Amino acid sequence: MTFLTKKHLSRRTMLRGMGVAMGLPFLDAMAPAQTPLSKTAAAARPRLCCIEMVHGAAGSTVDGSNKHYWSPEKEGADFEFSQTLEPLKDFREYLTIISDTDLRPAGAYAEKEEGGDHFRSTSVYLTAAHPKMTEGSDIYCGTSIDQMYAQQFGQDTPLPSIQLCIESVDGSGACDYGYACVYADTISWASPTQPLPMTVDPRQAFEQMFGDGATPEERALRQQMSGSILDRITHRVSALRRDLNAADRARLSDFLDDVREIERRIQKTEQHNLSGAARQLPAAPVGVPDSFEEHVKLMFDLQALAFATDTTRCSAFKMSRDVCQRVYDESGVKVPFHTASHHGESPARIADFAKINRYHVSLLPYFFHKLKNTPDGDGNLLDHSLILYGSPMGDSNAHNHKRVPILLAGKANGKVKGNLHVRCADGTPMANVLLTILHKVGMQVESIGDSTGEIAI
């Protein structure tokens, strides 16, 4: 008779110090003896990440659709990458591109709602619900898919979900066309009357992930110190290392190096912004980089860390805001974002808008690489995640919500095969994509918004 004496480390193990509570990445020591990795906590639930980019896409215009700026020409597994999606070619096996769905609830239902598309769209992206037109506190929309997932499967993680953004508006009061600003400020809704705030400051997000509920004074002291939070858990790390095998020690070292590097970048941003040097974003919190790309990458890093440590399995990330006039020099286009989106159907200006779309998409591989290179049970985090990227608007020049640009990445624990382009029948609700996502991450939901069924992916 063989006795199994192997001890294993709990997936809920935390490294604690002064005002610090840090989860760990999945380690071999967390797998009980003779337990297949596919049955461990690392692969129990897929991670869900929902990313919004505003203003639609050049590929949703008539000219851009004919030129396949967004959607590939071929369907199925042998599709060729379009101009906009070409930066994702290294992740073909993880990609599912879904073309020609419409987000009708983001449009106007009555004459008085005409023109308010920019101030409705964001609230509809993950809810597929038509928001109530109001400038007061009697807001009403729907429950977003990230929060449906968090409410059912996020209660056994330290954070049920995290909500991040790159730009924010004043979430209180009225914006324009008769809509409260909150409709444009968040993609996450815990209920039809409960929008959730999104965090724009990487420091605040970092504290949210790794703080342990310390007093405001302790948190302020930590932020003023130039060292790392890792300095406060050194003794815990040393004790843990003694009980790990060589592979786990190496994985732990890589993880701690990632944490320290993220901290260093946040601290560098704060030091620059407190130095008195001119800022491109003078109204932004001190932890927000002037660089759009650096800001996005920091937020991707934080989401990857949160998924790796099982701090949360659910994130929502708003990469811009409607009517944003930021100039993305790296795209090669000098026209501000919102202005570029109103291209007047000029082929040359649509082509420029496509360059901006391509630039935004080109930032995704940074996140995908992070997830793919992070071991997780019997695979990696990209194997065990499902990521939605897209926009609730189609042709922004017309303010319509037809042929909205949508893609999925990740395999959701084998529930999504990847390497696929699906072209839907005209008029297919984008809510069908949301319903399909919910089913692939384990939710038993009959419908959402104006959905009519699943999409075969």
| Domains present along the chain, CATH in parentheses | 40-200+293-440 (3.40.720), 211-287 (no CATH)
Interval 166-195: pLDDT, tens: 997 665 667 878 999 999 999 999 999 999
> pTM of the entire structure?
0.94
**How much is the pLDDT for 3?**
36
* Arithmetic mean of pLDDT, 387-408: 97
pLDDT-wise least confident of 29-43, 127-141, 350-364: 29-43
274, burial (CB in 10 Å: exposed 0-12, middle 13-18, buried 19+): exposed
* Arithmetic mean of pLDDT, 51-59: 97
Instruction: Tell me how long the chain is.
Output: 457
**How much is the pLDDT for 331?**
97
